[in-house]
Structure 1
Amino acid sequence: MYLTDRSAPPADTGPGRRRGPRPRIAPVVLVLGTVSLITDISSEMVTAVLPLYLVTTLGFSPLAFGTLDGVYNGVSALVQLTGGHLADRVRDHKLLAGLGYGLSALCKPLLLLAGSLGALGTVLALERTGKGLRTAPRDAMISLSTPVAHQGRAFGVHRAMDTAGAMLGPLAAFLILSAAADGYDAVFGVSACVAVLGVLVLVLFVPGRRAAAGGGVGDAVAPGPGGGTGPGLSGTTGTGPAAQAAGDGSRPPVRVREALALLRLPRLRALAGCAALLGLTTVSDAFVYLLLQRRAGVGAEWFTLLPLGTAVVFLLLAVPMGALADRIGRHVVFLAGHLGLLLAYALLLWAPDTALLVPLVLALHGTFYAATDGVLPAALAGVVPERLRASGLAIVGTSQALARFCCSLGIGAAWTLWGDGPALAGSALGLLCCAAVAGLVLRPDRPDRRTDNRPS
């Protein structure tokens, strides 16, 4: 089993053929990218200051911070399943995405009032609930508006725009902390205003269910024998009877049983299992930045700029990595990204303290995200039927996020008991073993080299 197929038609890949024009990115992808850009400015303003705010200002222990960081990632994982299923059931991805963005925006001002572990945990849980509701419907809109062969490029474009916001957020936080007397409160307040702007762009410019009806890619299909998909995922605009049925609402609502039946698809099980396995040893961004600050002696005033370095690399490489994944196989790029993260761990553990340590670690960290964040959902295009696309995305995303939740709890406890070095060394060793297992599970084999999006 492997992550997905190289689905470029033979006519475009022969040695004597000229390469066709670069595929056009659907307008909905660009609008959703704009929404994500604005929302990520808001979110990353908070994320950039939160570790230092909790550990140095409020005096949280690494274990307490690990618990909160786990909540920050774990709650959205559980809610993703609900958001994905509801989006497929009501056949209105924009509605669920809007509810998620709106809830996250409402939570930003509440950070001004939360000063205890319980209050902060509640606010962060609600904010992540919003993220969980919106992630699968948003990615489903991107996937359904893009041909199967170009999913990697489309998700790369969206992730690049999303990361532009992730790059601007820490910079805005840095400027606010430098200029404002009560810097953290100012960061949380400005973040709330920016989040509201993102919701407005979604409501005004992303087409709703009626406008988008019938505009997906390929006919809606059911899982075929052996876990594959039948005809219809050919990368052309859906104009057949199945697509029209999906557009006019004649199909019955998606039931929970149908969504759970996706787990019978071998490739989806492989994706979900490997995403979870690798997530168990993927140290969260906040811990990476805290470790880098301690290892390289980065001053507290510069801490908020560390995510900016990751975001710059992610922004530059998201589209090239997505296009590369479409050409050489998404499993290859996905696993290579985790090996880059493993190298970043090694540098944090054993590299000498030089001026190059910070840029090298941040470059590898950004490369990891460029090679994995958009590639994983792109891999599902040829595996999951259209009418269950959000549910399939939610299953894989939830498996990964729950694993990262457990990793945050584990590394927080290990840091408290044994120190930061042994905690990271354990994660690095685990990542090496998990990457080896994932490489065996996701490797291509001869019988499956045919594309999923052609009639079998």
Structure 2
Amino acid sequence: MYLADRSAPSPSPADTGAPPDRGSLRTPAVTSAVLALGTVSLITDVSSEMVTAVLPLYLIAGLGLSPLGFGALDGLYNGVSALVQLTGGHLADRVRNHKLIAGIGYGLSALCKPLLLLAHSLGPISVILALERTGKGLRTAPRDAMISLSTPAELQGRAFGVHRAMDTTGALLGPLAAFLVLSVAVDGYDAVFGVSACVAVLGVVVLLLFVPSGGGAAVPPLPSGGDGARPEPVRLRDATALLRLPRLRALALCAVLLGLTTVSDAFVYLLLQRRTGIGEQWFPLLPLGTAAVFLLLAVPAGALADRIGRRTVFLTGHALLLAGYGLLLWAPGWPPLPYLVLALHGMFYAATDGVLPAAVAATVPGRLRATGLALVGTGQALARFGCSLAFGAAWSLWGTGPALAAAAAGLLCCAAVAGVVLRPAAPADSPVLPDLDLDLDSDSDPDPKPVRPPV
């Protein structure tokens, strides 16, 4: 089974007959490109989470927006982010410059932060937030493609784990920074938006100066048209043909199924608060509990996925989430319950958030890497958005207990289906393109040459 598409294969010592050079075979566990991209994400998340931490209060208390209106606005701009991922992924592969498209995405998000200082009504703020989410959508797939293309196949789970850990560090620091700014500034909200804008610009500067073009690895060359004169461009039909890859199709299907039964974080925290009677003053700290566990375990979970198989770790993460649902439904209201639920919630993200893109990267040719990541990421994001709408409706109609029980039953069924669908594929299962139908759990790692998907 192939774990990745290598853009520049080189003969192994066994192929050449030369004795292995242990010094030359030793590669860093995490490349400098991954660390640079992680730093960019950390800085950008500090900026974004500063705004996110104060935005609900600013819109509801400051501008008089109703909670229902805020929920609709939140869903709208998160949906925009999910859909724009497809555009960002395809553009990055088409122009053969992942750093350029990611930079445009980061730059657009940074530009929106100071605009919040000028907007004082719901209409302009909605437009600014939609543009900010557009920037996030543009940068996500090219960034993940750079991570995968700069990392050896057998270390991609660890690389994504390191990136997600650094990203989560920013998510932890952002609300704390907003709290500090609000406590010392006279015009609190404007001060938060201003500081956030400066931090976002710093993230763009780090991207431009320290992230190598192509993410630190050469992007696989495009196949020529036969005369060697001009490389064949990446076309839209090449992107849609990716879904003909059985393994990518299986991953996309499972990501959507499991996303449809993954209750959003906000609902989990509300359920936990109601279940345990946590005081309202402590409610804003609940996301920090999940983020702290995620930060601690993201790298070990990614390394474990590289060692024992990404399918196993990915499904285990959903089993941990199911256990958290079970505690919320049936556990007695004893003091350790909030800590256990938050720990399981953070472990779920550690076992899935970086492992899924690592698995997707293993199935997609390098020249279409960003597009493949965007396809799966968009499907998962839209499915989770649909789950939020369905869970909110079920809560209103049935109450919290039946709604969560239905979500848990759905998650159990979907996880069982995913366990079957993601079984390691036999070699005979890929008669058309055996070097593109990649498996998740093999220890072998041949070096296939890039091949354009069938069209």
TM-score range, shorter chain: 0.7 to 0.9
Determine which of 206, 215, 218 is the counterpart of 2:218.
Answer: 215
Contact 1:70 1:404 in 2 (8 A): no
Q: 1:141 to 1:341 in 2, by over 3 A?
A: same
Determine which of 10, 15, 37 is the counterpart of 1:32.
Answer: 37
AA at the equivalent of 2:41: S
What's 1:227 paired with? Answer: none
What's 2:301 paired with? Answer: 321
AA at the equivalent of 1:304: P
What's 2:82 paired with? Answer: 77
1:55 CA drift (Å)? 6.4
Aligned length: 418
Higher alpha-carbon deviation: 109-118 or 132-141? 109-118
1:345 CA drift (Å)? 2.1
Once residues 426 and 165 of structure 1 are traced to their aligned partners in structure 2, the CA distance between those partners, rounded to angstroms, is: 34
What's 1:337 paired with? Answer: 317
SS at match of 2:361: coil
**2:102 counterpart of 1:122:** no
Q: 1:359 to 1:54 in 2, by over 3 A?
A: farther
Q: Deviations over 1:309-352 (max 9, x none)?
A: 11111111111100110111101111111121122222233333
Once residues 397 and 67 of structure 2 are traced to their aligned partners in structure 1, the CA distance between those partners, rounded to angstroms, is: 10
| TM-score normalised by the chain length of structure 2 | 0.82
1:200 CA drift (Å)? 1.4
Contact 1:310 1:366 in 2 (8 A): yes
SS at match of 1:384: coil
Alignment of 1:102-117 (within 5 A): 102-111=107-116
What's 2:252 paired with? Answer: 272
**2:277 counterpart of 1:297:** yes
AA at the equivalent of 1:68: L
Once residues 68 and 423 of structure 1 are traced to their aligned partners in structure 2, the CA distance between those partners, rounded to angstroms, is: 23
AA at the equivalent of 1:335: L
1:206 CA drift (Å)? 1.3
1:276 CA drift (Å)? 0.8
**2:97 counterpart of 1:92:** yes
Alignment of 1:67-216 (within 5 A): 67-111=72-116, 120-180=125-185, 183-208=188-213, 212=216, 215=218
Q: 1:299 to 1:27 in 2, by over 3 A?
A: same
Q: 1:285 to 1:358 in 2, by over 3 A?
A: same
What's 1:287 paired with? Answer: 267
Contact 2:301 2:351 in 1 (8 A): yes
State, as a whole percentage, how many aligned pairs show the same letter.
Answer: 74
SS at match of 2:360: coil
AA at the equivalent of 1:316: L
Runs of at least 5 residues in structure 2 that lack an aligned partner in the other structure: 7-11, 15-21, 428-438, 450-455
| TM-score normalised by the chain length of structure 1 | 0.81
Q: 1:65 to 1:49 in 2, by over 3 A?
A: same
What's 1:225 paired with? Answer: none
Once residues 3 and 356 of structure 1 are traced to their aligned partners in structure 2, the CA distance between those partners, rounded to angstroms, is: 43
RMSD: 3.3
AA at the equivalent of 2:284: T
Contact 1:170 1:304 in 2 (8 A): no
Once residues 3 and 295 of structure 1 are traced to their aligned partners in structure 2, the CA distance between those partners, rounded to angstroms, is: 45
1:386 CA drift (Å)? 0.7
AA at the equivalent of 1:86: L
What's 1:252 paired with? Answer: 232
What's 2:421 paired with? Answer: 441
Give the structure with higher Rg (CA). 2
Higher alpha-carbon deviation: 62-71 or 123-132? 62-71
Contact 1:3 1:329 in 2 (8 A): no
Contact 2:29 2:155 in 1 (8 A): no
AA at the equivalent of 1:373: D
1:260 CA drift (Å)? 0.9
Alignment of 1:405-444 (within 5 A): 405-444=385-424
1:455 CA drift (Å)? 5.6
SS at match of 1:253: coil
Q: Deviations over 1:207-243 (max 9, x none)?
A: 235x95x635xx5699xxxxxxxxxxxxxxxxxx9xx
Once residues 255 and 73 of structure 1 are traced to their aligned partners in structure 2, the CA distance between those partners, rounded to angstroms, is: 27
Once residues 353 and 452 of structure 1 are traced to their aligned partners in structure 2, the CA distance between those partners, rounded to angstroms, is: 49
1:52 CA drift (Å)? 5.7
Q: 1:428 to 1:71 in 2, by over 3 A?
A: farther
What's 1:380 paired with? Answer: 360
